[in-house]
Amino acid sequence: MNYVQIFSMTDHTQPLQGRYQGPYQGINAELQTSEVKDGSLRVATQTKSHQLTLPEDYFNKAKIILAYRHSDTGVLSGTSETLFSVSQTPWEQIPGFSILEFNKNSVTLRMWDQEMKIEKNRIYQIRFGKTIVYLKNFGSVERLEWTAQILSEGPAQLHTAEIDENITIAPPSGSGIQIKMGQETQN
């Protein structure tokens, strides 16, 4: 199975959809759910999915394990982290994000209608409006290990690592999305 980490951050200068603001405590905000260490994928036993602890068979059919962490800053602030078990492609469980295909050396994604190939062991920084996304494809991992230890090399660490490739994505042609300099992305 392959392992991919994503860390995204959005800066909100005004309430999301005109109403969501203030601090929130998202799922798994207090921990890093997973990391690769010595060729093994380590998953924290405390990891929850919609407030339930993940069962140890959750990844039995996974072709890709996706660790996704998102932080909001500004007038809406908080963090959440989720692990997804991807058993087939294409996979489209996150709005604006799809996993189209993969092999042991790369994962092909679609983000905001832009296709991109994420090569193994490279860190990508992608900018779209007020959102910055960091991605790393660890490629194939041979072993999955559940652990009660505190993990420290999860997706939250991606923004402090050396970036291999910077990408800026503009809204698709004909899109209803408007980006105004210094303002929120609006539909």
**pTM of the predicted protein model:** 0.85
| Structure confidence by residue, pLDDT tens digits, 92-135 | 988 888 999 999 899 999 988 889 999 999 999 999 888 899 99
Residue 170 has a pLDDT of 75
38-47, 67-76, 153-162, 176-185, range with the lowest pLDDT: 176-185
Query: Where are the chain's structural domains?
Result: 2-186
Residue 180 has a pLDDT of 38
User: Residue 121, SS3?
Assistant: coil
- Which of 28, 41, 65, 1 is closest to 153 using CA atoms? 41
Beta bridge partners of 65: 3, 85
The percentage of residues in the chain with a pLDDT greater than 90, rounded to a whole number, is 58
pLDDT at 24 over 90: no
How far is residue 89's CA from residue 10's CA, in Å, rounded to a whole number? 27
Q: What angle do CA 28, 31, 33 make, to 5 degrees?
A: 75
Q: What is the mean pLDDT of residues 20-29?
A: 85
The phi, psi pair for 17, rounded to 5°, reads: 55, 30
| Structure confidence by residue, pLDDT tens digits, 135-184 | 999 999 989 999 999 999 999 999 999 999 999 887 655 544 444 333 34
